[in-house]
Amino acid sequence: MTKPIYVINGPNLNRLGTREPHLYGSTTLAEVEAMCRDAAGDTPLEFRQSNREYELIDWIHEAIDRGCGIVINPAAFTFTSMAILDALKMFPGPIIELHITNIHRREPIYHRSFVSLVATAIIAGLGAGGYPVAVQAVKDLARQAAA
């Protein structure tokens, strides 16, 4: 049984579609999930979102025990959470840090990511379209690691 890819989304991403559409576009989180499942193909995928930091950490622990890779958009926790960083440090597989916006073209408060210290790669600025790119990257990296 192929281990699942975990796609983990942080706070306020449940509001995608109506949240600052000039920044985050009009794609809803449900549409993002559909794009991810399409990109995953026959690879199982766990798609999660929470506004609670502890839930993201619990899901990272779940991925440590049963996942093949992680795509994570920690949203605002990207810049604040040592706890998420510490959890990700335990994950043995590929980690893609995903941001809808190019955080490096935004205000300086968005420039220092804790997650980037442990991410295999970072995708930022492709809009919601970055999610399927990230899922495909995890599939490729996990396949290479298993070869």
Would you name the residues annotated as active-site residues?
Answer: 24, 99
118 binds ligand DHK (CB under 6 A): no
Q: How far is the CB of 147 from ligand DHK (least distance, A)?
A: 31
* The two structure tokens encoding residue 61: 């622990």
Name which of 3 and 31 has its Cβ closer to ligand DHK: 31
56 binds ligand DHK (CB under 6 A): no
- Closest to ligand DHK by CB, 99 or 139: 99
Provide the mask over 75-94, with x wherever binding to ligand DHK is found by CB under 6 A and - wherever it is not: xx------------------
The whole-angstrom separation of Cα 102 and Cα 57 is: 24
Among 110, 108, 50, residue whose Cα is nearest residue 84: 50
CB 4 → ligand DHK: shortest distance, Å? 22
Pseudo-torsion of CA 132, 134, 136, 140, nearest 10°? 180
Question: Interhelix angle for 130-146 vs 29-40, to 10°?
Answer: 30
Q: Do 141 and 94 touch, CB atoms closer than 8 A?
A: yes
Dihedral over Cα of 106, 108, 109, 112: its sign: positive
CB of 72 to ligand DHK, least distance (A): 11
Coil, strand or helix at 73:
strand
**Selected binder of ligand DHK within 7, 45, 85, 103 (CB under 6 A):** 103
110 lies in the site for ligand DHK, by CB under 6 A = yes
Summarize as ranges the residues that interact with ligand DHK (CB under 6 A).
12, 73, 75-76, 99-101, 103, 110
